[in-house]
Structure 1
């Protein structure tokens, strides 16, 4: 059994033992976040959970189950009873799980999970400590050409969209950089702020609070358009690096077979919670997110495109989970 397989099996076993006890004690609805606390997915889940509690009339708790590129927590939901008690709020790496883990994945993302809502997204950015020399993506490429493997970057793990975007950048520029994968955006941010890595690629959502606090500086943005808060900073396409658009996104899924009325009730509660003025302002200004709040079919259509795009990068570059 491989290390990833052991981690998946252990995570599923612990979740199986813990979940019934949690429901029996509190009758709570669980929002499983398949990453460690501190990242943008965790932040989004905790931002909407009070509103969901109010609108659904029962406690809504956030349950972090990190590890194996998000597959441990996702497996918890894929194997949960479809009774409307357990939901998944996950990140963009969901689109690469099947390509990344292959036969080691103990569930089928397309068959074992039902779409609920595409919450929205935020462009990926490159950020570094203010005292680092990088001012543009060209500066990074030039430094990597001068010293192969001498420039390091942090991401939220192997096979995440941020990592894959940097793989594409290296392929297209003939450079080599040192990748430092972390289990969450929060951990990647902490080590970047501490200077243990030259820079990090992450969603504007997870980086922006630290930019506002002066501990990080964004010097490249991968969105199709410039963020309003970064209107003076060119996108990477404008800087001459075409085809590197990348956006982080958050989606909600249910165990397959969850009754449609429960799915639509959760969709409506999420939409109402996200439209609360304070929550919306936090998402759009603090997290720099673009809210979509789709119906279930909207998430399914979007996910199909993302799977096709990023799974090809995983396969072509022989990327494995960390």
Structure 2
């Protein structure tokens, strides 16, 4: 919460021969360790999306799969394995062979669900190898236009005056939309009633009609309603403003330090995947996010490219997971 050379042999053949020669000197075990990295990828790679087609995570996976395929000269195929708030697809990858041919496209539920739902039955820190962060983007706090609060400070003041009266709709219990509310409540000592929906869209419709007062959602999901005046934005959930909503303050500007919540997109692999394969994929991610068409797409989706090393992604995932675990404990949440 709070990253072919010319000559007699092609470069690929030269690498294979070099790896083979080195392996023969180092023994059978070393040969087995070297071979996958030297030839990777030599067949299609699956990217598992733990959500249904059409969701934001699915759209990101399809963009990344297409561009990784172009960069690495092989097929990257998206496979949706939805269910249990993302846990089914995530568990599938945790149990897959650690050979680089089954990857997981993760977003914030990867850590929030593991932190809040005991039934998730996977460990984001112990069962996966970080490959690379792709992009991040904040959510935006939005309210019904009739709510007598137009800033986060006014919202908190109203919540203190009327404990439990304000209703907040989330995309489902245990997701980032839910836990960002619990984080605000924990930091401000307020009580706002949480109402879980099956997605942000129906919650937004109920907010527009006046059945609930508040939601958070990704900027692309809420921007059309902000532009036409159906809802009003209060703040983005991050510590800095979003270029997609330049007139909307950040949480830090709103007077709430230490609250920096972003949705993220990253690739993970099963634990034990060879480091050389991880490094190859990470280098490809850096190339993908720098492509002009990807830069344009990210801008439209209100996310920022955030490539970094596998180690940096590992640190990011650990910090996010532990922060949400602390929120779950502080609020004594019991989610099943």
1:175 to 190, 193, 198: 190
Give the distance between the partners of 1:124 and 1:171, measured in 2 at CA. Answer: 18
Describe the shift of the 1:125–1:182 C-alpha distance in structure 2 as closer, same or farther (beyond 3 A): same
Question: Mapping of 1:223-242 within 5 angstroms?
Answer: 223-242=238-257
- Is 1:49 the counterpart of 2:56? The answer is no
Describe the shift of the 1:107–1:217 C-alpha distance in structure 2 as closer, same or farther (beyond 3 A): same
User: Which residue number corresponds to residue 115 of structure 2?
Assistant: 99
- Is 1:62 the counterpart of 2:78? The answer is yes
1:252 to 250, 253, 267: 267
Describe the shift of the 1:68–1:127 C-alpha distance in structure 2 as closer, same or farther (beyond 3 A): same
Structure 1 residues 200-248: Cα deviation after superposition (integer angstroms, max 9, x where no partner):
2133354446545766542212221222343333223322233322122
- Is 1:313 the counterpart of 2:327? The answer is yes
Give the distance between the partners of 2:114 and 2:334, measured in 1 at CA. Answer: 11
Question: Mapping of 1:155-304 within 5 angstroms?
Answer: 155-182=170-197, 184-185=199-200, 197-204=212-219, 206-208=221-223, 211=226, 216-283=231-298, 285-304=299-318
Q: How far did 1:306 drift?
A: 1.8
User: Which residue number corresponds to residue 164 of structure 2?
Assistant: 149
User: Which residue number corresponds to residue 16 of structure 2?
Assistant: none
Give the distance between the partners of 2:156 and 2:57, measured in 1 at CA. Answer: 29
Q: How far did 1:117 drift?
A: 0.5
Give the distance between the partners of 1:264 and 1:296, measured in 2 at CA. Answer: 8
- Is 1:80 the counterpart of 2:90? The answer is no
Structure 1 residues 251-298: Cα deviation after superposition (integer angstroms, max 9, x where no partner):
210112223333233223322222211211221x22222211112111
- Judge conservation of contact 1:205–1:288 (CA < 8 Å) in 2: yes
**If the length of structure 1 is used for normalisation, what is the TM-score?**
0.78
Q: How far did 1:186 drift?
A: 5.6
Give the distance between the partners of 1:55 and 1:49, measured in 2 at CA. Answer: 10
Structure 1 residues 109-136: Cα deviation after superposition (integer angstroms, max 9, x where no partner):
2222110001121123112466766522
Q: How far did 1:98 drift?
A: 4.2
- SS of the aligned residue for 1:44 comes to helix
Give the distance between the partners of 1:124 and 1:66, measured in 2 at CA. Answer: 23
Structure 1 residues 153-184: Cα deviation after superposition (integer angstroms, max 9, x where no partner):
22233333332221132234343222233455
Runs (5+) with no aligned partner, structure 1: 1-26
**If the length of structure 2 is used for normalisation, what is the TM-score?**
0.75
Describe the shift of the 1:221–1:106 C-alpha distance in structure 2 as closer, same or farther (beyond 3 A): closer
* Number of equivalent positions: 294
User: Which residue number corresponds to residue 114 of structure 1?
Assistant: 129
Describe the shift of the 1:150–1:207 C-alpha distance in structure 2 as closer, same or farther (beyond 3 A): same
Give the distance between the partners of 1:93 and 1:125, measured in 2 at CA. Answer: 17
- SS of the aligned residue for 1:230 comes to coil
- SS of the aligned residue for 2:117 comes to helix
Runs (5+) with no aligned partner, structure 2: 1-42
- SS of the aligned residue for 1:80 comes to coil
Give the distance between the partners of 2:215 and 2:300, measured in 1 at CA. Answer: 19
Structure 1 residues 283-321: Cα deviation after superposition (integer angstroms, max 9, x where no partner):
1x2222221111211101222222222211112222234
User: Which residue number corresponds to residue 17 of structure 1?
Assistant: none
Give 1 or 2 for the bigger CA radius of gyration: 2
Describe the shift of the 1:243–1:111 C-alpha distance in structure 2 as closer, same or farther (beyond 3 A): closer
Give the distance between the partners of 2:123 and 2:163, measured in 1 at CA. Answer: 38
